[in-house]
Structure 1
Amino acid sequence: MPTPRLRLVRTAATLAAATLLAPAVLALPAQASPAGDSLVINEAYTNGGSAGALFTHKFVELYNPTDQPISLDGWSLQYRSATGTTAPSTTVALSGTVPAKGHFLIQGGSNGTTGAALPTPDLATSFNPAGTKGTIVLADQAGTVAGLPTGSVVTDQVAGVADVLGYGATNTFETAASGAPAANSDPKSIARTGGVDTDDNAADFTVTADVTPQNAAGGGTAPVDPVDPVDPAPAPAPSVTVAEIQGTGAASPLEGRRVSTTGVVTAVYSTGGYDGFYIQTAGTGGAEDATPGASDGVFVYAPAEVGSVTLGQTVTVTGDVAEYYGLTQVKAEAGGVRQAAEAGAPVTARELAFPLTEAEKEAHEGELLAPAGAWTVTDNYDVNQYGSLGLAPGTSPLPNPTSVALPGADAQAVAADNAQRLIVLDDGASTNFFRSPGNQNALPYIDADAPARVGSAVDFRTPVILDYRYGAWSFQPLGHLTDANKAEVQPVDIADTRPAEAVREDLGGNVTVGSFNVLNYFTTLGEDVPGCGYYADRDGAPVSTKGCLPRGAYTEEAFLEQQAKIATAINGMDTSVVALEEIENSEKFGLDRDHALAHLVDALNAQAGYAKWAYVASPTVRPALADEDVIRSAFIYQPAEVTPVGESVILDDQVNFANAREPMAQAFRVADGSAEGVEGTEFVAITNHFKSKGGSGATGDNVDTGDGQGAYNGDRTRMAQALVTFAEQMKVQAGTDRVLLMGDFNSYEKEDPIRVLEAAGYISQGAKTGEYSYTFDGAVGSLDGIYASPAADATVTGQDIWMINANETVAFEYSRDNYVGEEFYAPDQWRSSDHNPVLVGLQLDAPATPVVPTPGTRPTPPADQCALITSPRGAKASAGFSASEWMRCAGVHPGKGRGRG
């Protein structure tokens, strides 16, 4: 906690005198002025809770420069955006009293959970100004200020306006706007100097990291006791053990008490944001537990002193016991950390087998541990933003509850077990690698050649601290882990399970079929759509779209990177037919419906070096454009291996598919070089993309009941029933019982929609592989599948879920390129999407003579031009090449080199 700007020392006598001598509360003239005759905005903190924040909530602190208290009844705090020109958009009523020469703390909203709690606010509100720019108005009226102009607004200029603080690039201020915090990533406050108002925000305020909220109790002036002007030295703090501080419950029995305790330093976090260290009672640990039920380790929050302690040192700490979001700690007072008189016996890491119950974890919170047994990476989503991995004891990642148990009580039991088993492997820091200035550097635990995939085995090589932060139990290394010190500080070795060559399983048969969700493959770019938002890399360059109709890449550079990965993955699948989900419905952008699909086929053929692929055209009869989604499902195929039979069919069912993508069916035959293919080898493929589990707007049986199936389970179940009926119709139309239901069903294996398919006789091919297609929230399961009718299942020769995406960290995705100071992007198949492809081999009557395609039908640009291209980002700028030409230059093939270009 930072030290307040004005630390006023009071005795009981002076406090009593202050009470007796306090004048009556008076209502004074409202206008702030250089004369110092009314209230002013003294400090504004607009990034509470953001990454790196000191405090969890935003606040505005008022100051009363007069000699009399001022009532806030009938006053208000108002906010207008940096570009606003009408009345303020937010008005919050104020109440209470600002003491003479004192402060008043108004708590506002929050951006997250980072930081400490504010000192007790005088008024808690929902006031929520923007973090980097805007205008805050202190008004002496309850109603919103009408007619607030832009530009400079100073004393007495506008009725009702007592004070104005314009910060950042705002259009309203006093004379000139003050600076603003450097975005949400580096939360600072905007503080007035000495309470002085000169009607010039730029002159009166400074941006400072010394954030010092003060409330009325700590910011007033009391008469000085002439007999005892300074408090006597505080009484000695009682000496207690660490176990007495921890107690046997979730919170310390000594919370709020000033204590003194001694222990051996077991971990030090002088950088990274933790600002403290762990101590443990000397001689504890190992096999014997001298204090069963109570931990012998505790965190010491000591920003001013953490740099002076070392591992193994015995120290005595004096300070207040506190609970910091569930973590028991001692907040060291000034000068409260000192070398102990005698060195204590060393601490031994306690070997513990997990999982542990909540009470068992509490009993060892803050202790030095050696986690026993096998461990596995079960979650790697946050490693590229927060430097943390999710671990599970055992040799497998945690299962999604409804992948292994029926919805309801059974799935809830699995979820509870997962929660008990999951442990976060952290990096000893609160760094947000996306947003904290100076921290967009190399990440812990992963690099381009060590991907830390879900399912990777983990071996502990050093002890760790059992810690509780951000609402989760974690293992902390013994210091802030960085790329520079990982040889000494990283506590684990992580097995590299990524194969050197990405090759799918041999599926057998003479026809192969696959399903692939292609991660919003859009040829319509965000930069082409006015007003389209975007997610930016660390240099501020747009990468992917945000909140607009195109859902994929924002720029051509980003699209080329996305396309290279998608093309490499599909060519690596190398199946006869690929069902695609999440490809652009180009008709929504005024183009031919198949425009993006044709573009993808061109890219695939360019990469393959010949006309390997074709696409199934949209049918003539299809749903009205207004009834379709901006993404669609589709088929591509290899003409040398299969031949489409007849036109594709889209199920136009706007009752059951009003909020999802309509199924698309296509009949195929084994190719024999003719337009018809081989009679008797027909099969029907139907690609699907059911409604997602998102709960916005859900009603009736679509509301998430907590049974594990998420929202819109009712609609997905009805979609499955309609799909079964559609499949029966396609059997009759195509004259075959061999049907494959494929795609992203947004339903895990034990959920109602999948049980509808299985009850109709369809057999899961993905289930035969023992693998999974998706990871979410630290658990694995399959949302994607291929379900074969009995006749089709009888022809199956092999199955595979190709583990190239879901188990890879999102750091390797095109949409995270250049987010941190380490290169992860490569034009390969790894993390080309968030779903793993599902593949099946079928043995149908083979053609008499295999058809060999003729390569070399697509020319490559001259070598001297290809040499100009060093990366996908540089393709257009350096040589003006299209995506297809770049890939022909790059010569990227499945499983080949991982560098750019």
Structure 2
Amino acid sequence: AGGSGTASVYSYGGSGETDRALGFVGGTRVARGGLRLINDSAQTITEFTLSFVGEQWRSASSDPSNFLRCEYRISATAFDLSSGTSHTAVPALQFDAPVTAGLDSALNGNAAGNRALKSATITGISWPVGSMLVLRWADTNSVGSDDGLAIDDVVFYAPTTTPAAPTVIETKPAPSAVDVLTTSRVAVTFDQPVSAVGAWATLNGAVSGNAPITIAGGPIRYEITPAARLNPGETYTLTVHATQVTNGGGTPMAADAPLIFTTQPAITNLQVISAVQGSGNSTPLSGQVVTVRGVVTADFQGAPPALGGLYIQSLPADDDADAGTSEGLFVYDFTSSGSADVNVGDQVLITGTAGEFGSQTQLSNITSLVVEGTAGLPDWVDAVLPMATSSELEPLECMRVRLPQTLHVTSVGTSSNFAINYARQGELMLSANGTLVTPTEDIDPNDDPASGTTSTGSGNVPAITAREAQNNLNILILDDASAAIYPDPTPYLNAQGTRRCGDTVTALSGILAYAGGRYRIQPVAPVTFVDANPRPVTPPAPGGRLKVAAMNVLNYFITFGGPNDRGASDVVEFQRQKDKVIAALTALDADLLGLIEIQNTPAAVADILTALNAATAAGTYAAAADPVGGAGGDAIRTVLLYKTAKLMPIGQCYADNDIVWYTPDPLRLPLAQVFEELSTGERFIACMNHWKSKSSSGAMGADADQGDGQGAWNNLRTAQAARLNVWLQSLMTAVGDNDVLILGDLNSNGEEDPLDVLRAGGYADQSSRFQPGDYSYRLGEARGRLDHAFATSTMASQIVGAAHWHINADEPAFLDYNLESKSVAQQALNVGTPFRSSDHDPVLVGVTLSPQPTSYAMWVASIEWPVGADTTPNGDADGDGMKNLLEFAQGSDPTTPDLSHAPWVEIVGGDFRFHYRFRTTATGIFVQPEWSENLSNWDPLTDTASEGTATSVIELLRARLDRTGKDRIFGRLSVSEVP
């Protein structure tokens, strides 16, 4: 045998079996194997007969034309089997069916569906004495990967003399064989081609009598297959009847040829697999030693990280046709001395102890595993998600299962019950009809329909409970058929080194197993994914003149190993973290950037600010000053960074110090800062938040998880929301601006009570407004929004877009900066990219500021007055003769004496003209130009017209009066407050 190039020649057969087949896998070159025979007779040979069995042991090619070509050559001298082109092909001996294409898996070439008997007599040749006849089989390359094809049971015959009476020269099983498998077929080989007619072979059991058979093959080698499984422990006689078998000259056999053999003895407590499985969730035969027969459907034998066993499924004759019982079983044979090596497609007889492991029925403590032969694999059984009940798939446990639908990856991290973990255990969570959604993201615990403002009660909790149950029924685990911990490489990664939630797989197939509280597929072939949710390389563009963003930077700590340190373990990890965070922040390119979970020290803020400016340009960003009393007592804080070319902070940064931010421990204080857009002078208040988390640690009483889907500390978060309403209302009054944008990690999904409190306070949810169904975080297998942007009505009117940049929530957690439990190759994945720079997705808001209605009180609050100044409407703080109310109405500075903006008059022809300025956004006042001839009696000037604008909020007006008949005219601007 030989091969060339990338072609290969193999020895195929069952594990531990001495019966082997000569196999071929073509590559870029041709794989060849064969025989060299010397004519050592005394005459030239003119014909020969060749018989063999063609077998397929591997299905890989998608090209169904893969085949074995049989050819011969006569030569006086030796030559290399791989050379030469003067061979003669024998089409009748070409093995091209059955050849199964495209399965990409091992096959059992001894199974009836994977083999074919080939035989032909070649005449008209001249094979001289002393010359050689070379028989050659060639497997040429096909498109894609090649199948594994083989030849077995080769028989050659060439007549040299007048043939004598035919005789049987070989049988399988051998004469007097014992322990013959009850599923065996019998092979009979003659010493020459024969004509076998009628009932030339019969099979009889010593007890059962005649056994019906079918016969195939010839004219030299024949295979006799019993129509049914033979009885165990019975002696059988196969008789070849001499009178029915003749050679080419018509000479019959001299005498009958009996073959006597005995099948393997009967087995005690032989059970069909379905009886071991039972109709419930656990085996009814727990603890019993049983023997089962089946075909190996998956081979996971071996020491860890192998699963340590194999899956078997019932033979067709043993299927109980009961839809309520499974026909599959796991056999845990690692460390069992009575086990043996197997291959997929082996028919096995196994004795072991029935039981459950992790609620999966199995046999363990294997005392005997006998490979009886081979059998065809059972058909796939279809299953679908979601399940109708939690036990709907139990009747398919351990069977070959296919899900014909499209499934979505819904978790690439850790499940909510911590039993499933992608990085640690190679397990992906799949769901149907899209990825799963946290119930309280779109179901309100107390409002139906959702998006109400009620923040107490539990009237709609049953709907949340129902959604949770529905989610649980819509989960299937894709396992990696391995027990490896932190497998390397991580399974199922794509070419970009990731596997994102939202990616899909269609027609998933494998063994349906159960572990970790979930049904799962153990694959038996590579799984093909569609990258249906590719990485968003650039952030969404929310529009507007200003881009505002908030991002959780996942414990950005510049110190390591201390009692309060939460981030990187050392400087190496920290640099990896910083590189990823800065990559995300620079890509966001926000004009105002709120950061969450940064170490509560000036040095940490300075570090991230320095790094951000180094990645952009010096001085691009500055940090809003800390509040007078600091940012709170927690180890982490929020911070506001702004582009100095776009924004300017006005006044101090404010923090609320209410007790609600110190219960039960010092928490993160909300920070608020007034910003002014440099290009327009328009202002707004940015308020950064990081509310109490959902962790149950320390939660008691009303703060404990109430089972309403909102997690622990919901009561405290609701109180924090209520307090924020009160505090921001007072702040709006204090600074004279109603344009408030609340940003941050509120640790509340879209319809939870704390957000109802904000809605009741007049704040509108901007991400749901512009991107319904958006998300920012995954808790286990479900997605929701913890990162929000809420705005007052006046602020909302200036927001043109909002969205989340999905760089984190959809990514595997192990792609973060941490080095633990990663190989060097895994540590090199995703370095310096924004992907998995945190566990939360950043939120972006597009803002185009515009003038908003302004009352006198708001105007007063927005101005930094001199100490002791009279700020009442009738006061004149700058002493320039114009009262404060007038300065408000005409848009002048009340703290600097300046009459350049005062009203003025002129005479143009016959007209008296009165010119004045008017603040178009002013509310709560009445402005009226008036005229008088005597300074006692005043009348309104009604003929007014616009002369343009001084600013976006200051209009220039002119009032006109015909001065005919009037000796003198006085003008004034009357400004009064409207009750």
TM-score range, shorter chain: 0.5 to 0.7
The residue aligned with 1:451 is 498
CA contact (8 A) 1:452 1:496 kept: no
| Bigger Cα displacement from structure 2, 740-749 vs 822-831 | 822-831
Please tell me whether the aligned partners of residues 811 and 817 of structure 1 are also in contact (alpha carbons under 8 angstroms): no
Post-superposition shift, 1:664?
Answer: 0.3
Deviation at 1:496, TM superposition (A): 5.8
Equivalent position amino acid for 2:676 in 1: R
* Aligned residue type for 1:668: F
Tell me how far 1:284 sits from its aligned partner.
9.1
Change over 3 Å in CA distance of 1:270–1:609 after alignment to 2:
farther
After TM superposition, the score normalised by the length of structure 2 is: 0.55
Q: Please tell me whether the aligned partners of residues 568 and 829 of structure 1 are also in contact (alpha carbons under 8 angstroms).
A: yes
2:295 matched to 1:264? yes
The answer on whether the counterparts of 1:644 and 1:667 sit within 8 Å (CA) in structure 2 is: yes
1:602 aligns with 2:610: yes
Gaps of 5+ in 1: 1-233, 434-438, 479-488, 530-547, 587-593, 673-677, 847-901
2:314 is aligned with 1:278? no
Contact 1:283 1:348 in 2 (8 A): no
Match of 1:492 among 528, 541, 564: 528
Q: Is the 8 A contact 1:284 1:290 kept in 2?
A: no
Is structure 2 residue 344 aligned with structure 1 residue 311?
Answer: yes
Contact 2:660-2:719 within 8 A present in 1 as well: no
1:48 corresponding residue in structure 2: none
Deviations 1:214-249 (A, max 9, x none): xxxxxxxxxxxxxxxxxxxx9943111111111110
CA contact 1:460–1:493 (8 Å) conserved in 2 = no
> More displaced, 638-647 or 266-275?
266-275
Task: Name the CA shift for 1:842/1:289 in 2 (closer, same or farther; >3 Å).
Answer: farther
Q: CA 1:636/1:284 → structure 2, altered by over 3 Å: closer, same or farther?
A: farther
Alignment identity in percent?
32
Check if 1:353 corresponds to 2:410.
no
Counterparts of 1:321-360 in structure 2, within 5 Å, are 321-334=354-367, 336-340=368-372, 343-356=374-387, 357-360=389-392
| Structure 2 counterpart of 1:562, from 538, 557, 577 | 577
Which structure has more relative contact order (CA 8 Å, sep 6+)? It is 1
Q: How does 1:3-18 map to 2 (within 5 A)?
A: none
SS in structure 1 at match of 2:585: helix
Deviation at 1:795, TM superposition (A): 1.0
Corresponding residue number in structure 2 for 1:255: 286
Number of equivalences: 554
Distance 1:801 1:656 in 2: 27
1:630 equivalent among 612, 626, 635: 635
Q: Which residue identity does 1:525 align to in structure 2?
A: F
Alignment of 1:549 with 2:552, yes or no, is: no
Distance 1:564 1:550 in 2: 19
Structure 1 residue 718: Cα displacement: 0.2
8 Å Cα contact 1:802-1:838 kept in structure 2: yes
Match of 2:626 in 1: 618
Q: What is the alpha-carbon distance in structure 1 between the residues aligned to residue 758 and residue 396 of structure 2?
A: 48
Selected match of 1:414 from 456, 467, 472: 467
Displacement of 1:302: 1.1
Quote the Cα distance in structure 1 between the aligned partners of 2:369 and 2:683. 79
Asked if 1:403 is matched to 2:441, the reply is: yes
- Listed one character per residue, the Cα deviations across residues 813-864 of structure 1 (whole Å, up to 9, x for unaligned) are 0024672342324111000000000111011149xxxxxxxxxxxxxxxxxx
Cα-to-partner distance string for 1:337-387 (whole Å, 9 max, x where unaligned): 1123x6444301112222222232111111101112110000101222111
Give 1:426's aligned amino acid.
Answer: D
Q: Secondary structure at the match of 1:360?
A: coil
Partner Cα distance (1:333, 1:786) in 2: 61
Q: Does 1:514 align with 2:549?
A: yes
> For 1:772 and 1:316, how far apart are their aligned partners in 2?
53
In structure 1, what is the Cα distance between the partners aligned to 2:655 and 2:844? 22
Which residue in the other structure is 2:708 paired with? 707
The answer to whether the aligner puts 1:464 opposite 2:507 as a matched pair is no
Q: Look up the match of 2:174.
A: none
Over 3 Å counting, the alpha-carbon distance change for 1:429 and 1:574 in structure 2 is: same
Instruction: State how far apart, in whole Å, the 1-side matches of 2:376 and 2:744 are.
Output: 61
What is the one-letter code of the residue matched to 1:473? Y
| 1:429 maps to 2:482 | yes
Q: Structure 2: how far apart are the matches of 1:838 and 1:306? A: 58
C-alpha spacing 1:348/1:723, structure 2 compared with 1 (3 Å): same
- Partner SS, residue 308 of structure 1: coil
Contact 1:684 1:740 in 2 (8 A): yes
Superposed, which structure 2 residues align to 1:709-858 within 5 Å? 709-767=710-768, 768-769=770-771, 770-816=773-819, 819-820=822-823, 821-822=825-826, 823-845=828-850
In the TM superposition, what is the alpha-carbon distance from 1:669 to its structure 2 partner?
Answer: 1.5
Shift of 1:250: 0.6
Q: Looking at CA atoms only, which structure, 1 or 2, has the larger radius of gyration?
A: 2
Identify the structure with the greater strand proportion: 2
Change (3 A) 1:637 1:253: same
1:505-536 Cα shifts (integer Å, max 9, x gaps): 1211111111111101112222xx4xxxxxxx
**Residues 77-123 of structure 1: CA distance to partner in whole angstroms, max 9, x if unpaired?**
xxxxxxxxxxxxxxxxxxxxxxxxxxxxxxxxxxxxxxxxxxxxxxx
Amino acid at match of 1:839: L
> What is the aligned counterpart of 1:388 among 427, 438, 456?
427
Counterpart amino acid of residue 490 in structure 1: P
Q: Distance in 2 between matches of 1:609 and 1:639?
A: 11
SS at match of 2:834: coil
The ranges of structure 1 where at least 4 consecutive aligned residues each deviate by more than 6 angstroms after the TM superposition are none
Whether the 8 Å CA contact 2:340–2:370 is kept in 1: the answer is no
What is the identity, as a one-letter code, of the residue corresponding to 1:373? Q
8 A Cα contact 1:514 1:837, kept in partner: yes
SS at match of 1:421: coil
Equivalent in the alignment of 1:505: 540
CA contact 1:811–1:824 (8 Å) conserved in 2 = no
Q: Gapped runs of 5+ residues in structure 2?
A: 1-264, 414-420, 446-460, 852-979
* Alpha-carbon distance between aligned partners in 1 of 2:500 and 2:750, rounded to the nearest angstrom: 22
Structure 2 CA distance for aligned equivalents of residues 817 and 571 of structure 1: 27
State how far apart, in whole Å, the 2-side matches of 1:555 and 1:339 are: 55
Cα distance in structure 2, aligned partners of 1:510 and 1:565: 27
Kept in 2: contact 1:502–1:572 (CA 8 A): no
Q: What is the RMSD computed on CA atoms of the aligned residues?
A: 2.2
Change (3 A) 1:332 1:317: farther
What SS does the aligned partner of 1:493 have? coil
Greater helix content: 1
Q: Counterpart of 1:445 in structure 2: which amino acid?
A: Y
Measure the CA separation in 2 of the matches of 1:764 and 1:512: 17
